[in-house]
């Protein structure tokens, strides 16, 4: 008799989270060892309510279309499971006779995943638990990078380049672009690629390095004075010297984190008020994780691969691990997959290396050596006739 | 002896303004009647300074890459020419021995174009002046639609669909999306396509129809209560019942227009404060006119065609006209080009038909019958497994 598997999504989606889901379903089908393929409707909420979607009979064509479907096709949530919830989780797993459980998420989800695995062991359940990494923030430890990051980085890089060309082609204002990243600047760092692809001045500020706003404004004034147009890119979680975000939305999320945001508008207002320059703030926000036309082909393939690998590992008897991506970059990019202990991943946070930030507002080559291939490689060459 | 031509860009760029430039250059080369191809560096500024870019010898490969280059490759400006400027304009035209002048822009630029043509006639100059239409706002009269609109509409539609899927897949907040359009709602109307492509509730508000904010909030509460997720899309220029924009940036542009903006954040704040719901505001802003990955293939081809047609018309002796696009939609889409008098286009503004707005916040089929093909036709089919 075959196994029954359950997959759930936790936290914010990425442009490629559904590629991992496609990988899970197609690997399960290819294995011939799986009877039922279930997905939790809206993540932990679905598990707690016993509300599962039966994907077993969904047409292959629909599963294939997951590749080009943004957000979570099965639904996700930000509910953090508490000690009181775990008995209910076990009830659902038993009710549906689940043998393998896959949780696709970031730090918080890997913590939940770890706790479910520990609980199952304590209760003597024959449950295999594998974490599938996902976060555009790229802040999971023990994996070279996270599925979702490459696409968010490509979005940041190309959007920034497009805005930089707009700012340098019609240089009437300083354009400030806000990108997602509460604590980790990986995605915003990618926006610095605009300086390499265009003729515009670009300054980039990450949450890892608190800023002196006066210094920031004088740097902005100096860069704008070069007359080439200016794009300033900032992480939503950028902090002042007091360690507090320059701006926040006043929202507290389901995991208890205050949601930063409005940072670009805050800086844009200061540029207008204190420097007397025109400025506009742009904040594509969730589009940075939802955009399919900007998705990275490399990211998409790796997201698929980690989903498929999770299923193969569980069917081979593994449990209590997260799938990690290991990379060799020279002489050419090559990635492979392995398993790392969930206990080592849970709640750790990989920050952007401070030494990759140059002069406070430029991003060094080391970052692009790391990230360029993950962004998909095929970058545009623009025709600039103004010079 | 061949002709010398000059092309200039006026006002905000679009995703396809450089396709029109490509059309101008390639048609000039193909004609064998053109000696020198000049472009004004930064539009009217370049004309006033006598600062022209000589494109005559630019490699064909670079000209071809204009297709995928956002913003204005030759530079644009928002300087409105005054009576005192026109003698300087004539000086530049005479100095470079310009026979044909092409101004690529929107309402304000067509007005300038018209005045230059009148002046040249008064002064007895043998100058041919043709306007090339361009505006993402789609608010030019006498043309079925404007190059730049299709791409901005595709951006609005697909971005809205992607945000709608994010909002319905992780329904923890009302997402409010602000799109460009100070006075004309054409682009924002396209975002209503998200209701047809996804399972999310979508409410759309255009600047043509002032809103009662209390009614708007109660409609938002009712739509959110359906539990399917909610996306609200608004034009930056959305007005309250007093006829004033709900929010503005405090900036006055070079044409003397106050720049609206921050409308989505304003509504998002009201949703949080008055309805007690979580909400986030997204404002991709200039990305809506700069994004190449979302550009419409139809728009791109038509933008190229109007540029090429302008050159052919001028070389055939025409002057004082703008290129217009005429469309036949049944039995299938077919567009053709013609010339319309600049004097009839200048400073007129085509507003979104009020009868296409349904119940204040939905967009009727008539709009999509008009606009769907312009958006490029090939729309995604998403895999939604949540139901």
CA nearest to A174, candidates A155, A200, A192: A200
Beta-carbon separation of A13 and B286 below 8 A: no
What number of other Cβ atoms are within 10 A of residue B336's Cβ? Answer: 12
Reported ipTM: 0.96
CA distances from B338 to B138, B309, B312, B322 (A): 17, 9, 11, 8
CA distance A142 to A52: 31
Closest-CA distance, B6 to chain A, in angstroms, reads 14
- For residue B260, the model assigns a pLDDT of 65
Burial of A225 (0-12, 13-18, 19+ CB in 10 A): exposed
CA nearest to B175, candidates B229, B237, B235: B229
Residues of B in contact with A26 (CB under 8 A): none
- For residue B126, the model assigns a pLDDT of 93
HEC string of B127-163 equals CEEEEEECCCCCCCCCCCCCCCHHHHHHHHHHHHHHH
* B175–chain A Cβ distance below 8 A for any pair: yes
* A383–chain B Cβ distance below 8 A for any pair: yes
Residues of A in contact with B272 (CB under 8 A): 250-251
CA distance A90 to A76: 19
- For residue B378, the model assigns a pLDDT of 86
> How far does CA A168 lie from the centroid of its chain?
29
* B55–chain A Cβ distance below 8 A for any pair: yes
- Average confidence (pLDDT) over A226-236: 96
Residues of A in contact with B78 (CB under 8 A): 170, 172
> Helix A263-275 to helix A213-224 angle, to the nearest 10 degrees?
70
3 state DSSP class of B48: helix
Residues of A in contact with B151 (CB under 8 A): none
In chain A, residues 69-88 whose CB comes closer than 8 Å to chain B = 69-78
Residues of A in contact with B52 (CB under 8 A): none
- pLDDT tens per residue across span A7-52: 999 999 999 999 999 999 999 999 999 999 999 999 999 999 999 9
Q: Choose the mutation target among B6, B8, B156, B293 for the interface with A, i.e. most A CBs under 10 Å.
A: B293
In chain A, residues 285-344 whose CB comes closer than 8 Å to chain B = 285-287, 289-294
Closest-CA distance, A69 to chain B, in angstroms, reads 5
Closest-CA distance, B385 to chain A, in angstroms, reads 5
CA distance A22 to B176: 30
- Share above pLDDT 70 across residues of chain B, in percent, rounded to a whole number: 97
* B263–chain A Cβ distance below 8 A for any pair: no
* A18–chain B Cβ distance below 8 A for any pair: yes
Q: Residue B100 pLDDT > 90, yes or no? A: yes
Residues of A in contact with B287 (CB under 8 A): 159, 162-163, 282, 284
- Share above pLDDT 90 across residues of chain B, in percent, rounded to a whole number: 89
3 state DSSP class of A69: coil
CA distance B110 to B39: 17
Beta-carbon separation of B285 and A283 below 8 A: yes
CA nearest to A39, candidates A64, A15, A59, A56: A56
* B13–chain A Cβ distance below 8 A for any pair: yes
* A57–chain B Cβ distance below 8 A for any pair: no
CA nearest to A152, candidates A184, A114, A115: A184
CA nearest to A376, candidates A132, A105, A67, A158: A158
Picking from B74, B162, B289, the nearest residue to A385 by CB comes out as B74
Banded model confidence at residue B259, pLDDT cuts 50, 70, 90:
low
Question: Mean pLDDT across chain B, nearest whole number?
Answer: 95
Q: Which domains does chain B have, with CATH numbers?
A: 3-135+294-345 (3.40.50.450), 149-293+350-371 (3.40.50.460)
- For residue B33, the model assigns a pLDDT of 98
B-chain residue closest to A154, CA distance: B293
Q: Residue B80 pLDDT > 90, yes or no? A: no
* A182–chain B Cβ distance below 8 A for any pair: no
Set A99, A137, A219, A299: catalytic member: A137
3 state DSSP class of A51: coil
- Average confidence (pLDDT) over B113-117: 94
* B385–chain A Cβ distance below 8 A for any pair: yes
Residues of A in contact with B168 (CB under 8 A): 71
Least confident range from A207-221, B152-166, B277-291, B343-357: namely B343-357
CA nearest to B21, candidates B73, B70, B57: B73
Closest-CA distance, A124 to chain B, in angstroms, reads 32
- For residue B253, the model assigns a pLDDT of 61
- pLDDT tens per residue across span A284-328: 999 999 999 999 999 999 999 999 999 999 999 999 999 999 999
Least confident range from A91-95, B80-84, B131-135, B308-312: namely B80-84
Asked if A156 and A191 touch (Cβ cutoff 8 Å), the reply is yes
Residues of B in contact with A250 (CB under 8 A): 272
Burial A272-289 (b: 16+ CB within 10 A, else e): beeeebbbbbbbbbbbbb
Residues of A in contact with B266 (CB under 8 A): none
Banded model confidence at residue A351, pLDDT cuts 50, 70, 90:
confident
Picking from A170, A284, A290, the nearest residue to B13 by CB comes out as A170
- For residue A349, the model assigns a pLDDT of 83
Based on its alpha-carbon atoms, the radius of gyration of chain A, rounded to whole angstroms, reads: 22
CA distance B325 to B306: 8
State pTM to two decimals: 0.96
**Residue B36 corresponds to which tokens in the numbers above?**
């020198």
CA distance B81 to B84: 8
* A202–chain B Cβ distance below 8 A for any pair: no
Q: Sheet containing A34-40: give its strands across.
A: A52-54, A34-40, A3-9, A100-105, A128-133, A321-328, A334-341
Task: Determine how β-strand A34-40 pairs with β-strand A3-9.
Answer: parallel
Task: Name the more confident of B288 and A346.
Answer: B288
Length of chain B (residues): 387
Beta-carbon separation of B385 and A68 below 8 A: no
- Average confidence (pLDDT) over B71-77: 97
CA distance A255 to A259: 10
Beta-carbon separation of B287 and A18 below 8 A: no
Closest-CA distance, B284 to chain A, in angstroms, reads 4
Set B108, B111, B137, B248: catalytic member: B137
* B241–chain A Cβ distance below 8 A for any pair: no
For the question of residue B137 being annotated catalytic, the response is: yes
CA distances from A22 to A60, A302, A342, B365 (A): 10, 12, 23, 34
Closest-CA distance, A139 to chain B, in angstroms, reads 21
What number of other Cβ atoms are within 10 A of residue A331's Cβ? Answer: 6
- For residue A374, the model assigns a pLDDT of 98
**Residue B23 corresponds to which tokens in the numbers above?**
């059309």
Residues of B in contact with A292 (CB under 8 A): 158, 162, 380
- For residue A387, the model assigns a pLDDT of 75
- For residue B68, the model assigns a pLDDT of 97
* A159–chain B Cβ distance below 8 A for any pair: yes
Burial A106-121 (b: 16+ CB within 10 A, else e): bbbbbbbbbbbbebbe
Task: Name the more confident of A81 and B321.
Answer: B321
Beta-carbon separation of B284 and A284 below 8 A: yes
CA distance B95 to B112: 20
- Average confidence (pLDDT) over B104-117: 93
- Average confidence (pLDDT) over A130-138: 96
CA distance A37 to A56: 5
Closest-CA distance, B110 to chain A, in angstroms, reads 18
Beta-carbon separation of A282 and B286 below 8 A: yes
Residue partners of A380: CB distance under 8 A and separation at least 6: A158, A161, A197, B68, B69, B292
Q: Residue A271 pLDDT > 90, yes or no? A: yes
Helices H / strands E in chain B, number of each: 14, 15
- Work out the angle at residue B208's Cα, subtended by the Cα atoms of residues B203 and B211, and round it to the nearest 5 degrees: 55
Q: Residue A107 pLDDT > 70, yes or no? A: yes
- Helix ranges (H only) for chain A are 17-31, 44-49, 60-65, 86-95, 107-122, 149-169, 186-191, 194-197, 213-224, 263-275, 287-290, 297-315, 342-345, 365-371
* A252–chain B Cβ distance below 8 A for any pair: no
Residues of B in contact with A381 (CB under 8 A): 65
> How far does CA B284 lie from the centroid of its chain?
15
CA distances from A352 to A188, A285, A356, A366 (A): 10, 20, 8, 11
Residue B335's beta-bridge partner residues? B327
- For residue A248, the model assigns a pLDDT of 80
φ/ψ of residue B43, rounded to 5: 60, -135
Beta-carbon separation of B251 and A278 below 8 A: yes
- For residue B255, the model assigns a pLDDT of 61
């Amino acid at each position: 008799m075959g196994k029954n598997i359950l997959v759930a999504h936790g936290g914010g989606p990425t442009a490629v989270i559904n590629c991992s889901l496609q990988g899970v379903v197609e690997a399960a089908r290819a294995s011939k060892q799986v009877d039922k393929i279930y997905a939790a409707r809206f993540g932990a909420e679905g598990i707690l309510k016993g509300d599962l979607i039966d994907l077993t009979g969904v047409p292959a064509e629909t599963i294939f279309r997951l590749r080009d479907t943004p957000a979570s096709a099965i639904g996700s949530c930000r509910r953090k499971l508490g000690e009181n919830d775990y008995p209910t989780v076990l009830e659902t797993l038993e009710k549906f006779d689940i043998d393998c459980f896959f949780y696709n998420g970031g730090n918080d989800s890997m913590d939940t995943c770890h706790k479910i695995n520990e609980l199952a062991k304590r209760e003597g359940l024959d449950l295999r638990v594998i974490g599938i990494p996902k976060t555009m923030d790229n802040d999971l430890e023990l994996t070279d990078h996270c599925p979702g990051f490459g696409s968010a980085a490509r979005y940041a890089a190309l959007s920034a380049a497009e805005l930089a060309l707009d700012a340098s082609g019609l240089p009437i204002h300083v354009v400030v672009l806000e990108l997602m990243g509460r604590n980790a600047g990986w995605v915003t760092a990618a926006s610095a690629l605009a300086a390499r692809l265009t003729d515009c001045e670009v300054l980039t500020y990450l949450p890892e390095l608190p800023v002196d706003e006066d210094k920031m404004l004088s740097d902005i004034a100096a860069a704008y004075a070069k007359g080439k147009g200016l794009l300033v890119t900032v992480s939503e979680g950028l902090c002042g010297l007091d360690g507090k975000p320059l701006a926040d939305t006043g929202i507290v999320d389901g995991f208890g984190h205050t949601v930063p945001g409005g940072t670009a508008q805050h800086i844009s207002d200061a540029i207008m008020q204190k420097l007397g320059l025109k400025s506009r703030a742009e904040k594509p926000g969730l589009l940075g994780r939802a955009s399919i036309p900007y998705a990275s082909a490399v990211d998409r393939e790796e997201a698929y691969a980690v989903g498929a690998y999770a299923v193969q590992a569980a069917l081979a008897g593994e449990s209590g691990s997260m799938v990690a991506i290991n990379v060799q970059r020279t002489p050419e990019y090559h990635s492979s997959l392995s398993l790392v202990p969930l206990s080592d991943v849970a709640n750790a946070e990989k920050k952007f290396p401070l030494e990759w930030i140059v002069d406070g507002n430029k991003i060094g080559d080391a970052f692009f050596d790391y990230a360029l291939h993950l962004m998909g490689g095929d970058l545009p060459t623009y025709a600039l006739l103004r010079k």
